[in-house]
A = this chain, B = another copy of it.
Amino acid sequence: MTDVKFKKLALIGIGLIGSSIARSVKAHGLADEIVCAARTADTRRIALELGIVDAAYENPVDAVKGADLVILCTPIGTYGPLAATIGPALEAGTILTDVGSVKEAVVKAVTPHLPDYVDFIPGHPVAGTEKSGPAAGFAELFIGRWFILTPTPKSSHEGLEKLTAFWTAMGSKVETMDPAHHDLVLAITSHIPHLIAYNIVGTADDLEDVTQSEVIKYSAGGFRDFTRIAASDPTMWRDVFLHNKDAVLEMLGRFSEDLTALQRAIRREDGDTLFEIFSRTRAIRRQIIDAGQETAEPDFGRIHSPDDE
């Protein structure tokens, strides 16, 4: 493993992911100095009180000064304006990366604002919980989880190696992917699951003939698992759907078509079709277990969260 160490890490945003990075970087000694930028005074105060950053700034330009690694950890809708703000303040050779759940739109939003001497390497840790804010983070969040790098044609080979070593040191398994393909894969494995979880929880909230207290009381029958996903950060997810629109609409179209076929099978009382579909999906579960991607916990990382202990 490359011996990786940055002089100064600047985290733009210090929510669940940003604060988890700060904790993990500190735990593994991956940077001499960790600073953050956060919009609200409250967030900056909490980050400082938690002792996870050495300094916290309101203005991201102050945070990135002298930084050799800058990570965007805010909702992706802010990336364009942020890049325009910090771009001129970044130093030559600085690695700029991010943790956004969408990659093609991020490349388009950020790249135009950067000087040529900045090494922009977009990335996405496939990790998280439904909790938000600097207090929700924990150092172990990335252990055993995938980190997907989606380099642009201008990303340097050296920067790519250094960033790979950085995430590997935090416990992640690093994979490289084309940004557009990343967006398609994540649309089906993450974005659509979140969308339909948000949707069914909303549907249940609107019923007149079933009370909300009944929904809550009997949620263990399956609904509960969806509410956990549907408790994820609304701003982050709004931005995901706005910025991965094409892939999400494509996958949603397929999902709806398939659901209509299931609905039709139920209406026609076509038990064979139902049985065939329900048997097929069981095989996929087995493969996930075989691939070691299954854990007893709803989200691998959550058990480490101080809130749960």
Task: Kindly list chain B residues whose C-beta atoms are within 8 Å of the C-beta of A255.
Answer: 199-200, 203
Task: Say how many copies of this protein the assembly contains.
Answer: 2
Q: Which residue of B lies closest to A294 (CB)?
A: B224
A228 at the interface (CB under 8 A from B): yes
Q: Do A293 and B217 touch (CB < 8 A)?
A: yes
Quote the shortest CB–CB distance from A259 to chain B (angstroms).
5
Chain B CB within 10 A, most for which of A232, A238, A249, A299: A238
Assembled-state Cα–Cα distance A222/B285 (Å): 13
Q: A249-B267, A293-B219 are in contact. Are A193 and B200 (CB under 8 A)?
A: yes
Q: Do B249 and A266 touch (CB < 8 A)?
A: yes
A241 at the interface (CB under 8 A from B): yes
**Contact among B197, B218, B280 with A202 in the assembled complex (CB-CB below 8 Å):** B280
Assembled-state Cα–Cα distance A254/B204 (Å): 9
Q: Do B199 and A254 touch (CB < 8 A)?
A: no
Assembled-state Cα–Cα distance A218/B183 (Å): 12
Q: Do B288 and A266 touch (CB < 8 A)?
A: no
Q: Do B223 and A193 touch (CB < 8 A)?
A: yes
A210 at the interface (CB under 8 A from B): yes
Q: Do A242 and B271 touch (CB < 8 A)?
A: yes
Task: Kindly list chain B residues whose C-beta atoms are within 8 Å of the C-beta of A199.
Answer: 255, 258-259, 262, 277
Interface flags for A266-281 (1: CB within 8 Å of B; 0: not) read: 1101010011011111
Q: Do A281 and B188 touch (CB < 8 A)?
A: no
Assembled-state Cα–Cα distance A231/B218 (Å): 20
Q: Do B296 and A303 touch (CB < 8 A)?
A: yes
Quote the shortest CB–CB distance from A21 to chain B (angstroms).
18
Task: Kindly list chain B residues whose C-beta atoms are within 8 Å of the C-beta of A209.
Answer: 184
Interface flags for A200-236 (1: CB within 8 Å of B; 0: not) read: 1111111101101011111111111111111110110
Between A and B, 16 residue pairs with Cβ closer than 8 Å are: A175-B217, A189-B218, A190-B221, A193-B200, A202-B258, A217-B293, A219-B293, A225-B225, A231-B285, A237-B274, A238-B274, A242-B266, A245-B267, A245-B269, A252-B266, A298-B298
The 5 closest A-B pairs by CB, nearest first: A190-B221, A193-B222, A231-B285, A234-B278, A201-B281
